[in-house]
Amino acid sequence: MLSFFGKYKFFGLTLLALSAIIVYLFYNALQPPIKLPVYQPSMVNPELVDSSVQFKKKYHAVADFSLVNQNGETVTEKDYENKIYIADFFFTTCPTICPIMTQNMADIQERLVNDDEVLLLSHSVTPEIDSVAQLKKYAMEKGVNDTKWNLVTGDKKQIYELARKSYMVVKTDGDGGPFDMIHTENFVLVDKKRQVRGYYDGTKTEDMDKLMEDLAVLKASYKE
């Protein structure tokens, strides 16, 4: 009896291994694919959405824009065409959350430096202070890769409207006037159709890990 089992031991182990692989493959095949939500204004906390778009339930996308980056170059939505990108709002003189956010964005830049499918976009919320020269100085201090990451300044009303109506990240009302000031820790994941696919706290390491996980899911969806 022992000689019989010894003779077929290898065959049995091989069969067991193959069975385990087959069960694993069937299990994965039956699992629904992971998909990220497409955020519409009606899905987001109403406090974060401008009232003019608050009840919109479909077809929401980031609006066209024209701003200026750290090199004095005009940056528009065309520069992000057919790209996934991560957006945020900051200002160079911010002493609180912005340094943490910028460092986290720099870490993301490093992780994605060779990934041509993903870009970064940071909007200044104090464009009257953050001139092109100021942004360039800040970019050099923070190790910004000009081919990967745009720090943009420009018309304040346009930037604030983008934050409130397009990216839906601001809890305060305002018109982008001289006394209007926004401050948000949100990083926003945007897909190739300029649709919002995720929100993350730019000051938290665990949220940055979640962002990278979601980015992988989004990238994989374009290969299906």
Mark the binding-site residues, compressed into ranges.
94, 98, 183
Place of tokens 């940055």: 208
**Count of C-beta atoms within a 10 Å radius of residue 222:** 11
DSSP 129: T
Strands of the chain, DSSP E: 66-68, 74-76, 84-90, 118-124, 149-152, 186-190, 196-201
- The alpha-helical segments, DSSP class H, found in 130-204 are 132-142, 156-161
Which amino acid type is present at position 152? Answer: V
Angle subtended at Cα 193 by Cα 186 and Cα 213, rounded to the nearest 5 degrees: 50
DSSP 72: S
| Known binding positions for Cu cation | 94, 98, 183
